[in-house]
Structure 1
Amino acid sequence: MFKKILSLFKSQPELANQITASASSLPSTAPIPTRMVRSRRKTKSDGDWTRQPEEPTTAQQLHGLPGEYKVLNDLLVANTKSRSGYSSIDHVVIGPRGIFVIETRNLTTGEIRGGRREANWTVSSSRIKMYNPLMQHRGHVEAIQAHLGDYKRVRLVSIVTFTNRCRISVDPAVRYVNSDELIIYDHELVETILRKTERLETEVPETLYKEQDIQAIYNLLAAVNSTDPQIRAEHMEKAKGIK
């Protein structure tokens, strides 16, 4: 076979030149094949893997409210009825129709069951019963109200949020915006605040807090917020086991 090809080159030199020219125009290296990698879940040992986007925090979600709303995060205010002498409030939203006092629960699994007037609720993933979070949160709401000065008549709405990784199976009365005590999923928070504001506008259309009122309430609560690290540390120590 090789002899036949060699004889062909000798007998037809012009063909040989064409073949040589065509070969020299080809890429010097062949393309590198793409390696297919099967995706898998990231574990703690996979430090080099791309980090997945994190879910927005509650504070970040509240930042998306319209401009007329004022937000305070991580408040520590004096409360004579509390074991530590203070109440820790996760978030307060001051709007044109009322104040929303918000507590976030980071439960990530299980089904939450309980009634509005039941002292203890159950979580399917735990043998330990949960004290009714609405009853517990009432102390926080009262602590906020005690510091409102001339605005004590403002409507206060209590909201407790849970992550959407658990299941809420509680009294339906606290799942609808007609209630002033609400249990919701964390991703429902902004929508719930806006819908509740619309509801309050329908119920009491004459009650509308202007920009200066909202700012005044914000200033009142900001002024009583304790930022002293020692006081906060002492509160956390005395409040262990309770929210």
Structure 2
Amino acid sequence: MGLEINEYIQFMNFNSKNEKLYLIERNAPTPDEKEILKDIPFKQGVLDFSALLGSRVFKNREIEYVFMLFNTPYNQRKIVERNIKQKLMVHSKNKLFDTHDGNYYWLGKCKSVEVDNGEQFNQLKVTITFDCYPYMISHINYFDDYWDTFEFDEDVANYTKYIVNGSLDFPLFNAGSVAVKPEITVDNRFSVKVNDEEPIVFEAGSKQDYYLSLKPGLNKVRVEGTGTIRFHYQKEVMG
């Protein structure tokens, strides 16, 4: 009887557990920064404009998985190889799920699939590399009151839906590592002000505004209008 596969990844219709692949190595190094440096003559050091908008900006990151397929004849290994490549390489950017980070997903596409046949023990080594957005993204909106996925060491319980009659001030907490743009749903015309930014008007419906974001940590929100307003956002963390 073989060992049970407890760790696996899911990308579109590819599931490493269903392919009987055992995960033996996972590499997810931190992403490179998008550095904007200016070297001025006769001035010590360099000027770094990388965080000009208030936070560091990163390039995509590569996530590599190494799997092993055991006790499989050569002709079957070739079929498995073709199936893996077909299931992974034909798709564009999508969600990558990893049991290592059960409450989050990566967003990216498969960059390469490399295989190495081991004739002596009828095994196949499969190395799969994904090109991903630099941050992990939470599965659910914050805060949707799902206590099964609530991280007590990191999250903060926070109402994100309010009934307003005139004006209201309340906090919104972003437990992630980077600013996020919430989707705001209103049933009437509302003005929304976050921290010290200029107020933005939202008509009835749901939308994200390019100029409205929630910084990591506590955000002070003031809304003006009559009706119900909801904030939907997912935290992003540097996994």
Instruction: Write 1 or 2 for the structure with the bigger share of strand.
Output: 2
Instruction: Write 1 or 2 for the structure with the bigger share of helix.
Output: 1
Structure 2 length as normaliser, TM-score?
A: 0.21
Q: Is the radius of gyration larger for structure 1 or structure 2? A: 1
Which structure has more relative contact order (CA 8 Å, sep 6+)? It is 1
Structure 1 length as normaliser, TM-score?
A: 0.21
